[in-house]
Structure 1
């Protein structure tokens, strides 16, 4: 591998399409979007960006854009249609061809095993609330390690356990579409157990690279320095960050959080006989998906809730209480609010570049010299294609300001090893549909998914070609 990875990222369901081609099984998303459970106005990812058929075109554009790595996910139901047992040889052949083509273009694969497309068969048996799903995941991971270990050297078990489960069981806008904190905690435990089981399988093999996890990172900042606010920040940090990261790199969940949760919830699903698996299931590197920070104040009143803006209309992910805009409340612990002086996207994401520096420094402080990859960083925008390109200067500014925070951290000894823009090209943005565009390349979804490089694609290409000179001048290395 090269000394620094500059790339971009996608996820299988969001970009591949080919939802029922060549032996692929159904995922929870296929079921949701083809049933009466789904609101009529919500689009689906049946075709998405058609990356399944256009991957060579996409890799050529990445190569021409200076990128040397691609972070993507395997579709679990494309490889194992029922989530366990029988293998789909056509799905396996597809990923072999895809990886071989990627390498022909000088692009290093960075594979995430699970990016939210749970096989429907497992979902019907309880999904992430059934411990058997953890064992099925370990079986799937073991197969992938053996099958692709010669060509993939960067592996991640799960993508964003916190955020995905928050949407599944907090806001309830992802399948199984419920609002139930007790079930959320149970599913979160099983997901982390699944990651540890996969890591135990990984350790049985030699020379197949490194295994990590991809976490959405949320540096937490208090509204003041009061004792009450310090407690709120600690709780927010535990729930948003340490539940995943402590478990993945220290071997178990933070005890202070467990003590507080036990006051409100039944934690009997946490079994002592699992402790050895967690202890041995620690990982080699962390992928951080940084989009925004968490601005925290002490809990005041009301039941727990989570709001997510899926409309692209400002403030639709906010509940105003007096003059305070609350975005998330965890009863008796903390409230996440909107900074009244902050700058926000149309989807209520605060633009806070310093947070990416604080995030990598926080990880170094907690977990030592762990290799860190920024596995996602980007901004969703409403965009129009004009004269075969997109003037996305807002994205260029966003990327520039965030990337500029990383050389300082590297100078201070943080092991930042790579940066991936979200996303390689426009793709399906879950419940946001196709209106929320993140890509460096515009995809014309209405006209055979034709690709058009945006101005940010050109900027990123030029930046990659000149980054060493730029930062040696500024930081002396």
Structure 2
């Protein structure tokens, strides 16, 4: 048995997102979001589920914060529902929605839990989508005004802000793959949306800096890793394109002020390219205080002609898999963090999501989820390896605090440290909850 030590000030936390946990979809003056609309189209969501109630955290936030306190969390990452603040995406602030988040934040602070806020976790107000959504450049300024309103309202209370969660999902998964709201399948749309998201991020950072708000601001892309199957150049290039789809495409503009040539070529080979207006790249190229990194999976990869967008096929070497059928590849977290350090330097990093889907149910009043514990243990080990090799990791947030509405899979996928009975909404901490509590309390990991 070995002991893996984390720094005394390491920020252990957990994460959720507004649409996945809040419920109260038509309460408190909230307007419709694209997810309210998307979930009502038959066939979009498994079992016809929706987030109308979710975990009902809108009403049960005090109970959830009591669970966080018991767990020993030092930070809680949550998102604000844009349509709770601006029901139509713009206009007058809905004070009732703003008051809800003040109550949430005040309760976190009263329990010595640092609020870590995401401005956009996929739930665009439907009124903005009606005008083209993220394909319309006007949405950039609507986001900038929303961001500024939140910075002003919570200045001094919320000290850690992320602009966007997983822009790859908002652009490519929602507009090219098409299984997230709004459900389009067009590569040019996806590339265009990705660029608009980047500009909107830059505008929010500009506002944050210009107004001198207290705190730090960053950005939370999701990443994965593909290890080349062989030393053949074509395998390496195919894997480079696949990693670049999530990493370089969404980070080079911030840190280098330009899109990577190899990715521009890859998209242009399929007739797609961003519409870059004068001044766009300068807006995007704003210094950030930290990166939030979401990591779940990866694999071996090799070149295969005409196989998908990047001519890559994943090679399964017998990986264990989660109940989401994602390969468990902890080494990929170490490798992608080292890749980012080499390319962008020692940027402060928070792991803003990492976790596993296991659908363990309650038996005899307990939820035994040993596979989740092993998943977390292995990824924390690889995270510590990266820290030992100079990656400036400041914190780790498990996904998720609660079993919740898992987007297109509805309530059929459980990621939580806390089991939620979706019929009664009863919360039951899982064995992984108590394991993580011990890690947080000790500040070290047994492997």
TM-score (norm 2): 0.94
1:290 is matched with 295
2:388 is matched with 411
2:276 is matched with 270
* Cα distance change of structure 1 residues 241 and 336 upon mapping to structure 2, 3 Å threshold: farther
| Contact preservation (8 Å) 2:140, 2:196 | yes
Query: Are 2:309 and 1:300 equivalent residues in the alignment?
Result: no
| Contact preservation (8 Å) 2:304, 2:313 | no
Query: Are 2:170 and 1:164 equivalent residues in the alignment?
Result: yes
1:211 is matched with 217
Instruction: Determine helix, strand or coil for the equivalent of 1:151.
Output: coil
Could you give the per-residue CA deviations for residues 391-433 of structure 1, whole angstroms, max 9, x where no partner exists? 1011111111111122222222211100111000111101111
1:440 is matched with 417
Shift of 1:27: 0.1
Shift of 1:443: 0.8
* Cα distance change of structure 1 residues 59 and 337 upon mapping to structure 2, 3 Å threshold: same
Mapped partners of 1:453, 1:137: distance in 2: 36
1:51 is matched with 57
2:5 is matched with none
The answer to which of 233-242 and 96-105 deviates more is 233-242
Unaligned runs of 5+ in 1: 303-328
Shift of 1:212: 0.7
2:408 is matched with 431
Among candidates 236, 245, 251, match of residue 230 of structure 1: 236
Aligned pairs (5 A) from 1:310-329: 329=308
| Contact preservation (8 Å) 2:172, 2:191 | no
Could you give the per-residue CA deviations for residues 234-261 of structure 1, whole angstroms, max 9, x where no partner exists? 2122212111111233233212221332
Mapped partners of 2:440, 2:367: distance in 1: 20
Instruction: Determine helix, strand or coil for the equivalent of 1:219.
Output: strand
| Contact preservation (8 Å) 1:289, 1:377 | yes
The answer to which of 59-68 and 201-210 deviates more is 201-210
Could you give the per-residue CA deviations for residues 272-301 of structure 1, whole angstroms, max 9, x where no partner exists? 33232123x342211111100143222412
| Contact preservation (8 Å) 2:302, 2:315 | no
1:111 is matched with 117
| Contact preservation (8 Å) 1:233, 1:334 | no
Mapped partners of 1:148, 1:48: distance in 2: 26
Could you give the per-residue CA deviations for residues 44-67 of structure 1, whole angstroms, max 9, x where no partner exists? 010000111111111111111111
Could you give the per-residue CA deviations for residues 450-470 of structure 1, whole angstroms, max 9, x where no partner exists? 1111111111111111124x5
The answer to which of 250-259 and 347-356 deviates more is 250-259
Could you give the per-residue CA deviations for residues 86-105 of structure 1, whole angstroms, max 9, x where no partner exists? 21001111101110000111
Among candidates 199, 205, 221, match of residue 227 of structure 2: 221
Larger relative contact order, structure 1 or 2 (CA cutoff 8 Å, min sep 6): 2
Mapped partners of 1:96, 1:24: distance in 2: 15
Aligned pairs (5 A) from 1:19-38: 19-35=25-41, 38=44
* Cα distance change of structure 1 residues 106 and 247 upon mapping to structure 2, 3 Å threshold: same
Mapped partners of 1:272, 1:235: distance in 2: 27
| Contact preservation (8 Å) 2:168, 2:194 | yes
| Contact preservation (8 Å) 1:18, 1:52 | yes
Instruction: Determine helix, strand or coil for the equivalent of 2:221.
Output: strand
Mapped partners of 2:439, 2:56: distance in 1: 28
Could you give the per-residue CA deviations for residues 174-205 of structure 1, whole angstroms, max 9, x where no partner exists? 12222211111111111111111111111112
Shift of 1:266: 4.2
Unaligned runs of 5+ in 2: 1-7
Total equivalences in the alignment: 440
Aligned pairs (5 A) from 1:377-388: 377-388=354-365
1:188 is matched with 194
* Cα distance change of structure 1 residues 164 and 340 upon mapping to structure 2, 3 Å threshold: farther
2:374 is matched with 397
2:442 is matched with 466
1:144 is matched with 150
RMSD of aligned Cα (Å):
1.8
Mapped partners of 1:244, 1:157: distance in 2: 13
Instruction: Determine helix, strand or coil for the equivalent of 2:214.
Output: coil
Shift of 1:38: 4.4
Instruction: Determine helix, strand or coil for the equivalent of 2:47.
Output: coil
Among candidates 396, 408, 430, match of residue 454 of structure 1: 430
TM-score (norm 1): 0.88
